[in-house]
Structure 1
Amino acid sequence: MADNQEKIVHFVDYENVHKHIPIDEIARGNHQRVLLFVGNQQTIPNDWLIVDYNITVIRVGKTSKDNVDFHISAYLGMVHVGRDNSVKFIVWSKDKGFDDLIEHLKSRKRRIERKEPRKPKKITGTPSKKVIKPAVEKKKIVEEKPETPQGKIVPPSIKQVGSRVVEILEKTAPAKRPRKQTTLQNQLEHWRPGIKFKHTTLQVINWLTQKQHIVITDDKVKYNF
């Protein structure tokens, strides 16, 4: 069921736009949701796995031409049926092949548009002294400013970490999930920078076991989802 606060749904063609979308702007808050469509062999950036991001990963099962596009088109139709017309859709892709479908959905009273992310501009030339000097002074002021408790980042709780891990694993094809506890622990370490958790991998696995998301027998992992 859709969240009543949801105002925007972002459909991200990761195969097409890669990491150039403003993920920190579009993935935060209950008012918007990101549906991230990734190819079978693609890897999601670790820094996109943080608990604060409202991202659902949809990974295609096979590698074939336009397979990701077909999935996006299918989800556009399904989500359109399940959302009020006040909810806006944004398709993040440079593929103009979506434009005809977008026009069709507009005729169905859907607020929808396609956006192409801007690539970061390359800085050329040598900055003048007038530009450098204020920047150095500003940095110096920041460094001398005493640290306050408000500035500290609170790491996610074990429940938040475990729930995020379950969400990621649910979106992973069963054949590609870690089958052994040691492999799962290695995978958790790989996700650590993105989820930003401080717990040990064993603590996370114990939480998953206690909540009956997984069962471990002789180092073999069975998933209950």
Structure 2
Amino acid sequence: MRTNYVLIDYENVQPSALAALEKEHFQIYVFVGANQAKVNYEIADTLQRLGPKASYVKIAGNGPNALDFHVAFYIGQLAAADPNSFFHIISKDTGFDPLIAHLKTKKIYACRSKDIGDMPIVKAANSKSPAEKLEVVVANLKQRGSSRPRTVKTLASTISSLFQKALAEDELSSLLKALQNKGYVSVNETKVSYSLPEQRC
């Protein structure tokens, strides 16, 4: 499974549910402002348990967008070294959205979430009902932009991977059918085209 890099803007968000990231495919970076002297216990405890899969980045100086530039730099470095990875920026700062839009034009998967629990991959793991699962699939397809699956086979594989290959065959078929019934996906023989609703990543 591709690595999911989680870059937390700790100046902006002190996230909850960090324990949801205690899986092998997550790598966490917590960006701490130059003037931030403390990190709360839950975050420190979780990051310590994650060992080398988590680290702090202390910002070198002050400025209105100092932390944002650090996040952008790290994404650039990581994307060059691991081009098949996925980047999750945890922040309420909408200033990251133009960066995410640009990354998508470069076929780099990225998304901004306001908290850990809002991350699409975490929502997928926690979704129970068919409606919740469909919402997760649509959000994932939306954020893929121009790199959405183009065949039924690839779409099915993408959905299966999104749910950690834990879906039963009939659940997977039902999700594919629901996408078509809602008009989000059209199938022509083996080819797939999309008409997804507008929504934030």
**TM-score, reference length from structure 1:** 0.46
Q: Which moved more, 1:43-52 or 1:5-14?
A: 43-52
1:52 paired with 2:49, answer yes
Summarize deviations over 1:153-207 as a string: whole Å, max 9, x none.
Answer: xxxxxxxxxxxxxxxxxxxxxxxxxxxxxxxxxxxxxxxxxxxxxxxxxxxxxxx
Alignment map for 1:47-86 (pairs within 5 Å): 47-50=42-45, 51-53=48-50, 54-85=53-84
Q: CA deviation at 1:15?
A: 0.4
Aligned 8 A contact 2:7 2:28 in 1? yes
1:22 and 2:20 equivalent?
no
Dislocated runs of 4+, deviation >4 Å: none
Ranges in structure 1 where 5+ consecutive residues have no aligned partner: 120-225
Q: Given the superposition, is the C-alpha separation of residues 100 and 25 from structure 1 closer, same or farther in structure 2, using an over 3 Å criterion? A: same
Q: How does 1:4-153 map to 2 (within 5 A)?
A: 7-18=3-14, 20-26=15-21, 28-42=22-36, 43-50=38-45, 51-53=48-50, 54-85=53-84, 87-117=85-115
Which structure has the highest helix share of the two? 2
The 3 A distance-change label for structure 1 pair 49 and 117 is: closer
Distance 1:49 1:6, change over 3 A: farther
Decide whether the 8 Å contact of 2:30 with 2:56 is kept in 1.
yes
What's the CA shift string for 1:115-135, capped at 9, x where partnerless? 01289xxxxxxxxxxxxxxxx
State the shift of 1:74 in Å. 1.1
Q: 1:6, CA displacement in angstroms?
A: 5.4
Aligned length in residues: 112
Q: Which amino acid aligns with 1:79?
A: L
- Superposition pairs of residues 162-181 of structure 1, within 5 angstroms: none
Q: CA deviation at 1:29?
A: 2.4
Query: Which residue identity does 1:45 align to in structure 2?
Result: N
Percentage of matched positions with identical amino acids: 27
The corresponding residue for 2:180 is none
Structure 2 vs 1, CA of residues 6 and 56 (structure 1 numbering), >3 Å: closer, same or farther? farther
The aligned amino acid for 2:49 is D
The answer to whether the 8 A contact 2:2-2:86 is kept is: no
Give the Cα separation in 2 of the matches to 1:47 and 1:116. Answer: 18
SS for the counterpart of 1:64 is coil
Kept in 1, the 8 Å contact 2:18–2:116? The answer is: no
- TM, length-normalised to structure 2: 0.51
Cross-structure match for 1:216? none
Structure 2: which amino acid aligns with 1:107?
T
Query: Kindly tell me: are residues 49 and 118 of structure 1, through their superposed partners in 2, closer, same or farther at Cα, counting changes over 3 Å?
Result: closer
Preserved contact between residue 31 and residue 57 of structure 2 (Cα < 8 Å): yes
> What CA distance in whole angstroms lies between the structure 2 residues aligned with 1:29 and 1:117?
17
What is the CA-CA distance between 1:105 and the residue it aligns to?
Answer: 0.9
- Residue number in structure 2 paired with 1:172: none
Compared CA separation, residues 118 and 112, structure 1 to 2 (3 A): closer
2:34 is paired with a residue whose SS is coil
